[in-house]
Structure 1
Amino acid sequence: MTTLPAWSQRYLDGQNVGRAEAMMAYAQYYCVDGSADTDPEIEERIEMHRAPLVGYASRTGTKRNLAALRAAGWRLLVSATACLRTEGTRYAMDNGAWAAYKQDKPFDKDAFMRAIDKLGESADWIVVPDIVTGGLRSLDYSLSWLEKLKGLPTPLLLAVQDGMEPNDIRDLLSPATGIFIGRPTEWKEETANQWGRLARRRNCYLHVGRVNSQRRIAICNAAGANSFDCTSASRFSESLQRLAPAVLQDDLFAASRSWEDV
C-alpha cells in the first residue's frame, strides 16, 4: 500500500500549507532556491550562515535519558518499523530500511506508510525509502518513492551511499528535498565535505546518519551538516554528556561557508 494518508489531502487541495511548500515559496521569493547552481542566467546569493548543528537520538522511552536529551536540545529519530511514539519531543522519521537490512528482511512498505499516516505530518523530515548498499540501484528505488510521496507537507531526504556522486542527485535537491548521508562509514567520512558543498549550493538540508563519536560530530560540523543521528545517546545519558559539547563546536571552515564548486 502506497496511498498517501487522508490528512495529506488538505495540503494537496491547498487548504493547508506544509512546511516543505512554505520553504520552497520563501526560497523562490528571495532567489535562494538553488537554481543558480545549474542555470548561469539566474543571479543568486545564498548566505554563508548555518544554523547550529542538531543531534537526533534513536527513540527511547527511558525518562532519565529523555530528560537529558531535551536539556541538551536533542531530538528523536523514530524508525518506521519500531515503536511509533515521540514522547512529546520533536522528531524526524527514518524509513526503516536499515532495520530491515540488519534483520535480513525485505523493506516493509506498509509499515513505512503507517508511520507516515501517524507521524509524517509533524516530523521535521522523512527519509525516502532506499536500498542499503544498493548504490545507484538504491537511488532509482528512492526516486520511485519520491514520486509517490509528492504532495506531503514534510521535507524529504534522499539517502546517498557508496556508488553515488553529487551530480546523480544535484537536480533533485531543493529547500524541500535534502540529503541523508548513509553508509558505509569510511565512505561517509571521506565524502561528507563534497555533500556539504552540494547542499550549500542547492540550499538544501543535510543530515549525517550513524554518528557516535566526537570525531564524527566534528566531521559533520566540517561538512556544514544541519543534523546527525546517534544511537548511544538514547541508551546512556553518560554518552550524551560526552558528545553534547562537540555539537556546539562550530567549524569556521565548514563546507557550508565555502563558495567552492563541487
Structure 2
Amino acid sequence: MRYGAADVLNGVAFQVRQGEVVALLGPNGAGKTTTIEILEGFRMRSAGRVEVLGADPAHGDERWRDRVGVVLQSWRDHGKWRVRELLGHLGSYYTRPWGTDELIETVGLTGHADKKIKALSGGQRRRLDVAIGIVGRPDVLFLDEPTVGFDPQARQDFHGLVRRLADDATTILLTTHDLGEAEKLADRIVILAGGRIIADGPAAALARRIAGEDEVRWVCGGERHVVSTGDSTAFVRELFGRHGEDVRELEVRRASLEDTYLALVREHEGTDR
C-alpha cells in the first residue's frame, strides 16, 4: 500500500486458516488498520494479491459480503433505533442470521433490548457493535479493538464468545492494544512494524524466540532451586516423577507477550536506524 512516495505496507504476506484466531499487533502507524481495511474490501491496495474466502475483497459481491462480519472501533449511526429492532432489521439482509433474541442474549443486552441506542452506555453500545458484526453468522470476522469500553465482566464474556465462534469454525482476525487479551484469545500473533511483518507465530513460540528458555523455580528438601530449560513442561513432569510431593512452591516463568512484543518492536526500530 503506497500513499504518494511512501510505502505504508510492503511485502506483507500471511495466511489465516478456517477457525483460527489471529491477533494483528503493532505500534500506532504500523499499518494494522490499513491491512484490515484492505482485507475487508474497504480500501483498494496499490499492488499485490489478496484473497478472503476465495475472492478478492476489492471486488467482493453480495454473496461474499454475506459471509463477512466487521466490528469497527465504533459506530455512530442508528441512535433512534431500538436494539431489538435494529438487529432484527440488519439480520433480514443475511441468509442465515442469528435469532434476534438469541443474539441479544449472547452479547449480554437482554435487559436493554427495547432501549433506544442513544440511551445505551458506552459499554452497552460496544456490545451492540459486536452484535452488529456477527448478526449474519459470518465465516470470517474482523474485530478492531473490540473490547474498548468493556468492564472486566463484559470483557470476560466477550472472550468466551470469541472462543465459541472459533470453535464453530469462524475465522477471526482482531487488532487490539490489550496484549493480555491477544495472548488469551489468539492462536497466532502477527506483529507489524514499519509496514512489514516482523514476527508471526504462537505467543509461546515468539516468547521463546526472544527469551530463549523458561525459568523453573521450586523448593525441595528445604533448598531453593532455579533451572532454565527449553521445555518446562517436560522438566516439571520429570521433577515430580523424581521427587513427588516433596516439590514445593513450584513456579514456571515464561516471557509474556508484552515482553516479547516490546523486545521485537525495539529490535525492529534499532535495525531501521
TM-score range, shorter-chain basis? 0.3 to 0.5
TM-score of the pair, normalised by structure 2 = 0.34
Q: Which has the larger radius of gyration?
A: 2
Q: Which is richer in strand?
A: 2
TM-score of the pair, normalised by structure 1 = 0.35
